[in-house]
Structure 1
Amino acid sequence: MHIKDLATAPGQQLLAELPAYDSAQVFSLHDQLRKRGFDSDLISAALTQSRLRARATEKFGDSAAQMLFTAAGLEQATRASIATAHADFLHQHGAQKLLDFGCGIGADARSFAAAGISVTAIEKDGEAAAAARHNLAAFPTARVIEADANDLDLAALGADTIWIDPARRAAGKRIKNPAHWQPSLEHAIALAQRYPLSGIKVAPGIDYALLPASAHVQWISETRALAEAVIWMGADIKPGRSALVITPDRRYSYQADGENPRHPAEMLEPAPLAEFIYEPDPAIIRAGAIASLAKAQQLRPVSAQIAYLTGADPIFSPFLSGFRIQEVLKPRPKIVQAALRSHGIGRVEIKKRGTALVPEEYRRQLHLDSSLPGSATLISTPLAGKPHILLCSRLQK
């Protein structure tokens, strides 16, 4: 049985009747459904889909319960909040007819269509194409073509915008070399340059040297987790780099200095530790915007090549997580353990940059007393070339 079978009336009926996924109940549920007359292969496909839907809730919320997924397609699918940001960007820049080159299960295409953009989604994998067709069925301006986009006359499809999300996984493993993506980054850039407006979703760790000098490259985080980067190209798109920080309430954009995304990020000289320490959002870090943000907020790095900033004043910013420093300690567990107990702290989060400390191993060495009511953040970082532990409390508005 395949996804197209789940899209049929019997398949949809079966999916609708399934309880919330519970791995411990899979075999007994299969037997119950078999006794009710459902086909065994269809039951197996539906139970697999139920498991994928449970996982997909993190990315798609309540919409996951009505969507169909492949395991690989779900892994690479863009989160709904980020896909909406993509769609808004393209809509604001005039996209009307978009070609989704390798749409997967149609996650981005759904948001493009919801934004009023006419979408032609192309996917060569039959299962993923069937999922995309189901997931886009509610949008009359969206269609799915099951084909290898490389074999099509793309110009004949009449799009003014192209979106490319290269396949970056094979056999369950991440493909790190952009030359081995499908399509390769070089091919994707060449395709994108044929259109008035384009976007290419790429891995957030992409080397600046691989970026087109004329592009605007945006790094995107959601709830402090780095998700992806997008290479945007178009006549009215200003070249450079930026960060898009998505919170549960809204989006925040920060423009890095410079107009060439290939240029290295500016580095600032470190300064002595002050009363507060700040961790930039990971999208700020990858966009090379630390120096610009630090200068704007009168902050300096705590150490060379380390993405922790220090300053004398409390700052509340969507681009920074802030901490008040209570003590500066040598990293020996017994010293830190004594300090935690003296402050009545029984729970800690551990952060690190630029040191060999392994947070979970270090946590075990601290022998935390869970009966103590306090909590704190431990930050492991070099100061003046030597590792230290900063005992901190999070800044709260």
Structure 2
Amino acid sequence: MEMSELTALLTPEGLRLLDALGTVETTDAAARAVSTLRAAGHGPDLVAAVVGQAHLRAKARTKFGEFASRMLFTRAGLEQATRLSVAARHAGRLRTAGITHVADLGCGIGGDSLAFAGAGLRVTAVDADEITAALTAFNLAPFGDDATVLHSTAETADLTGIDAVWLDPARRTAGHSETRRVAATDYSPSLDWAFDLATRMPVGIKLGPGHDRDQLPAESEAQWVSVDGSVVELVLWSGALARPGVHRAAMVVRGGHTHELTAPADSEDAPVRELGAFLHEPDGAVIRARLIGDVARHLEAGMLDEHIAYLTSDAALTSPFVQSFRVREVLPVTPKAISAALRAGEIGTLEIKKRGVDIDPATFRKKLTLRGPNAATLILARVGSKRHAILADRVDAA
């Protein structure tokens, strides 16, 4: 978004036009909307801004639900924004810690600030980009004096009177649309600055879930978060925001329900054992937090292989921290053998998972015979030096 587009949008005419247009779901619909609005005599900057926002609002429903219909975005800001459901859980942690005034440094389009303010916290939101800060001010306007937005850098923001800081360092190049990831050494503000701040006051630092674990401050609580099977972020908590005795945590959000596993350190893996009646795939947050061993012991399970994050057991137990499968049979990793088993089971719908094998599931699927009313899961995994094809059925989580 250019400044000329923002100026045209933030007018009574622009906002009325946006609300009247509603959401624009597809690029074809966006092209039609542009033609209609231009034919009606609206200027190019206004049309570009209105149609662009209507399209982004449609995409934003995944993260912001019904709130998306009254928010403004940049493409890059939406891609990097925290899901509102996750931000709300972070806001709950701040409230529990007794925080009343939080500074959101590097606030982006204000997703986290929205959750903080909605939880009753006073918010000072700061962003170095002028257009982004303006959009955040619009998004936080319903909260009045309880939410202040500043166009400033994180490093120069005045933290006088602030109880805690939420910090989301920029992990991509500057811009509102096409951006690219940068190395951790190029984050803005720098991680050295962020980690130093965390030694002096309560801070939550949002990072990518794949961040190098060896570079994490030993004194922080590291919490990996997954939503419906996808690991979305890593948060480092310090000071009053870190829970005593907790240095590793895996928060798993499934279907709106939250489950969490915590530990003082990485857990020791369970011993390796032969494949049993059940196979368990740990949630990505559990794998990232290296708490697989704790889950294994709860399930009375062992590792299928010391290098592969699959668990196996004989007990009919499952948990929110794994996806469990009841094993049907173990097959050679050949299309002929697998197709024969699929025909025998009248399996027409097949989910293919793999770990530790150099096989493209989409290509492999084309070699299989799928026909029938039943569904199953095919798990391709390396166990020791051998490849196995495990035909199994999903088990509903506890």
TM-score (norm 1): 0.93
Which residue is equivalent to 1:249?
256
Q: Is the 8 A contact 1:215 1:237 kept in 2?
A: no
Which residue does the alignment assign to 1:224? 229
Once residues 396 and 191 of structure 1 are traced to their aligned partners in structure 2, the CA distance between those partners, rounded to angstroms, is 44
- 1:206 deviates by 1.6
State the partner residue of 1:267. 269
| Deviation (angstroms), 1:33 | 2.0
Partner of 2:325: 323
Distance 1:159 1:138 in 2: 21
2:122 to 118, 125, 131: 118
Residue 348 (structure 2) pairs with residue 346 (structure 1): yes
Aligned twin of 2:71: 67
Tell me the distance in 2 between the aligned counterparts of 1:43 and 1:155.
39
Which amino acid is the alignment partner of residue 37 of structure 2? L
Aligned to 1:180: 186
The 5-angstrom pairing of residues 318-397 of structure 1 reads: 318-369=320-371, 372-396=372-396
CA shift for structure 1 position 257? 4.7
What SS class does the counterpart of residue 16 from structure 1 fall into? Answer: helix
Question: What's the offset of the Cα at 1:19?
Answer: 4.2
Distance, in Å, in 2 between the alignment partners of 1:212 and 1:88 is 23
**Which residue of structure 2 lines up, in the alignment, with residue 208 of structure 1?**
213
Take 2:5 and 2:231, find their aligned partners in 1: how far apart are those partners? 33
Q: Describe the superposition over 1:177-197 as per-residue Cα deviations: whole angstroms up to 9, x where unpaired.
A: 3211111222211122221x1
Question: 1:122·1:147 contact (CA, 8 Å) conserved in 2?
Answer: yes
Which residue does the alignment assign to 2:21? 18
| Structure 2 letter corresponding to 1:384 | G
What secondary structure sits across from 1:137 in the alignment?
Answer: helix
**Distance of 2:280 and 2:382 partners within structure 1:** 14
Question: Structure 1, residues 269-319: CA drift from partner, whole Å, max 9, x if none?
Answer: 310110000011111111111011111221101111211100011223111
Deviation readout 1:304-339 (Å, 9 max, x if unpaired)? 121110001122311111100001011111111111
Cα offset for 1:361? 1.2
TM-score with structure 2 setting the length: 0.93
Q: Distance in 2 between matches of 1:271 and 1:217?
A: 30
String of CA shifts for 1:108-153, please: whole Å, max 9, x gaps. Answer: 000011111111001111121111111101112011001223234x
- Cα contact 1:267–1:305 (8 A) shared by 2: no
Q: Deviations over 1:16-62 (max 9, x none)?
A: 11143142233443232234332221011111111111111111111
* Equivalent position SS for 2:88: helix
- Identity rate, percent: 39
Q: Are 2:95 and 1:91 equivalent residues in the alignment?
A: yes
Does the alignment pair 1:54 with 2:55? no
In the alignment of these two chains, the number of paired residues is 386
CA distance in 2, matches of 1:379, 1:7: 52
Gaps of at least 5 residues in structure 1 are: 259-263
Structure 1 contact 257–292 (Cα < 8 Å) conserved:
no
Greater shift, 117-126 or 165-174, is seen at: 165-174
CA–CA distance in 2 between the matches of 1:66 and 1:81? 17
The one-letter code of the counterpart of 2:128 is K
1:146 maps to 151
Alpha-carbon separation, structure 2, partners of 1:382 and 1:361: 18
Q: Distance in 1 between matches of 2:206 and 2:381?
A: 32
Residues 327 and 391 in structure 1, CA contact (< 8 A), matched pair in contact too: yes
Indicate conservation of the 8 Å contact 1:299/1:311, yes or no: yes
2:325 and 2:374 map into 1 onto residues whose CA distance is: 15
> Aligned pair in 2 of structure 1 residues 350, 63: CA closer, same or farther (>3 Å)?
same
CA distance 1:27–1:227, change in 2 (3 Å): closer
RMSD (CA atoms): 1.6
Q: Which amino acid aligns with 1:59?
A: K
Aligned partner (choices 80, 86, 90) of residue 82 of structure 1: 86
2:329 partner SS: strand
1:100 partner amino acid: D
In structure 2, the CA distance between the partners of 1:41 and 1:344, relative to structure 1 (3 Å rule), is same
Task: Give the 3-state SS of the residue equivalent to 1:116 in structure 2.
Answer: coil
Question: How many angstroms does 1:218 deviate by?
Answer: 0.5
Q: Which blocks of at least 5 consecutive residues in structure 2 are unaligned?
A: none
Paired residue for 1:261? Answer: none
Q: Secondary structure at the match of 1:317?
A: coil
Residue pair 2:299, 2:315 contacting (<8 A) in 1 also? no
Cα deviation code 1:188-245 (max 9, x no counterpart): 11122221x1100011112221111111110000111111010000146324101111
Give the distance between the partners of 2:156 and 2:264, measured in 1 at CA. Answer: 40
Q: Sort the Cα spacing of 1:133 and 1:352 in 2 relative to 1 into closer, same or farther, 3 A.
A: same
Q: What corresponds to 2:38 in structure 1?
A: 34
Residue 189 of structure 1 is aligned with which of 187, 191, 195? 195
Once residues 326 and 294 of structure 1 are traced to their aligned partners in structure 2, the CA distance between those partners, rounded to angstroms, is 21
Q: Give the Cα–Cα distance (whole angstroms) in 1 for the partners of residues 106 and 260 of structure 2.
A: 28
TM-superposed CA distance for 1:265, in Å, is 5.1
Q: Measure how far apart 1:83 and its partner are.
A: 0.6
Maintained 8 Å contact 2:101/2:163: yes
Q: Look up the match of 1:294.
A: 296
Deviation at 1:396, TM superposition (A): 3.1
